[in-house]
Chain A
Amino acid sequence: MLLVDYEKCTGCRLCELVCSVKHTGASNPSRANVHVVKWEDEGFYLPMLCQQCLEAPCRSVCPTDAIYRDEELNRIMVDYDLCIGCKACVAACPFGAMGFDEAEKRVIKCDVCDGDPLCVRFCDMKAIDYVEATTSHFDKMRDASRNFAELMAKAHGQ
């Protein structure tokens, strides 16, 4: 799975470029599966990627069951033979990680480059890193998301 460390990210957006080159053949960040969200005045940069959710919203709204979970690489994948291009997954994804490629007329999402992500290879700072997914990661993620949810609840309750 892909780990993101926002403290290391320099906001160079090289990951977007290499991702689009790898998946579409064109250097066009709008067709990439990773996007760096920036707070320029604070110097805070955050690459946003598909979270490969365990209970993926995109998967549950898909009318043709074209989205499936690949347990081996721990990723959510789109079966393009089944996909009809209704874009329900694009509307459903809470992270905006599911995109629609207007040129190819199909949905696009991060497929972790079949286990050798190009964004990781090109990120000198290792702000994006690839680690083998284990269940211990899920425990950590669960703790982190619980903290996150509490914090957000407090922040919104203010």
Chain B
Amino acid sequence: MDFGSFAEGPLLWIVFSVFIIGILARVVFFFSLILKSSKNTHLRWRHILATFGRSLLPFHSAITKRPLYAALRYVFHICLIVVPIWLSGHITLWEESRFGWNWHALPDALADWMTLLLLLLAAYFLTRRIVVAEVRRISANSDYFLIVLTALPFLTGYLLTHGNLDAIAFLADNMRTIHVLSGEAMLIAAVLLFYRTQLNVEKCTGCAACELGCPTGTLESRDGGGLRVFTYSHYQCICCGACVALCPEQAAELRHEIGLERFLQTVPKQEIRSVELALCESCGAIVAPVPQVEKVRQVITDDFIRFCPKCKKRHSAEGFHQLAPWAKKLKKQISHQ
């Protein structure tokens, strides 16, 4: 058996099994972690389902924050899922396999257009990552790799059906193998693909509204030692975008993250951001994160923001106290001057 038929035969079945087992394992981890987490005890499942369902709709509030990019991303993912499943060539293979499954196929012309659209969008995403400095700064190597890996099966598939590069002997002979291998690589990558909220350090004020909105308790924050630390558990994330939708500063962003080490890290708590906390000047209780205090100071110029609500009450009551008859002595002192 040569390598080509191995890749199309046994290897494909191995990859499919790994894919299905991997997805099942992730579902199991997801449920066990959700049941363990103490957050949102009431109406939790309904909340999770509702938030997840809403995220699939095109006019989700996380999406309307960046409409053009979100629309492109939406189209990209539809093509990514629809084309491989409903392609007539793939369905024929399923029919020929031992399962004998068969379902309605997309018209070939439409599938071609969707493939081209996907390749165009992939090229756009890749260029955007390279060209736009703001995006380049937060991109890791795996981000580029992921786009290329996703586009490769589609590119090779398109070339395979249309035979554009058949003039090159090596490609003409091996295009089918390359297509199958890249498709297998994409399936494996899909198992290892996670989502991660990234909090933009320059914009995030550390208010932890994202934590309150997160339906699965993926994002958590803990205050201690003058710091508010945000942690993130990737297995719990359902990519619903609630954090992105809620963030008042547009600082939260959902990112892809790919890696075997994430998959093996089943009890995950990654620290994704820590913010310094402003402490009350008279009692030392937590007031708010420093960036948020700075932001409030731009609007409110009064001095009370140094204190916690309890001490603020005390301090403003002190003013009334001095006005009261009890403090007549003080009043006299002042009027004598």
> Are both chains from one complex?
yes
The minimal Cβ–Cβ distance linking A156 to chain B, given in whole angstroms, is: 11
For B10, the chain A residues whose CB sits under 8 A away are: none
- Binary contact track A89-127/B, C-beta < 8 Å → 1, others 0: 011111111110000010000000000000000000000
Closest-CB distance, B169 to chain A (whole angstroms): 61
Residues of A within 8 Å of B, CB-based: how many?
37
Residues 32-66 of A contacting B (Cβ, < 8 Å): 35, 37, 39, 42, 44, 46, 48, 57, 60-61, 63-64
B18 to chain A, nearest CB (A): 40
B322 touches A151 (CB 8 A): yes
A87 touches B288 (CB 8 A): yes
Q: Are B313 and A155 in contact (CB under 8 A)?
A: no
Shortest C-beta distance, B218 to chain A (Å), equals 16
Q: In the bound complex, do residue A86 and residue B207 qualify as a contact, i.e. CB atoms below 8 Å apart?
A: yes
Q: Contacts A92-B305, A94-B312 hold; do A44 and B321 have CB atoms under 8 A apart?
A: yes
Q: Which of B162-216 contact A (CB under 8 A)?
A: 205, 207-209, 212-213
Counting CB contacts under 8 A, is B98 at the interface? no
Interface residues on B, range: 35 or more
- A88 and B207 contacting across the interface, CB-CB below 8 Å: yes
The chain B residue sitting closest to A89, CB to CB, is: B296
Complex partner residue of B288 from A90, A151, A154, A158, CB under 8 angstroms: A90
Q: B334: which A residues are within 8 A, CB to CB?
A: 151, 154-155, 158
In the assembled complex, which residues on chain A have CB atoms less than 8 Å from the CB atom of B67? none
Give Cα A84 to B205, complex, Å: 14
> Which of chain B's residues has its CB closest to A90's CB?
B309
The complex places the Cα of A147 from the Cα of B248 at a distance, in Å, of 39
Q: Which residues of A contact B (CB under 8 A)?
A: 6-7, 35, 37, 39, 42, 44, 46, 48, 57, 60-61, 63-64, 84-88, 90-99, 105, 147-148, 151-152, 154-155, 158
Q: Give me 11 other A-B pairs in contact (C-beta within 8 A), A63-B249, A88-B292 excluded.
A: A6-B320, A7-B325, A87-B207, A88-B207, A88-B295, A91-B292, A93-B312, A94-B300, A96-B304, A96-B310, A155-B322
Binding site for A on B (CB under 8 A): 205, 207-209, 212-213, 246, 248-249, 287-288, 292-293, 295-296, 299-300, 302, 304-305, 307-314, 316-317, 319-326, 330-331, 334, 337
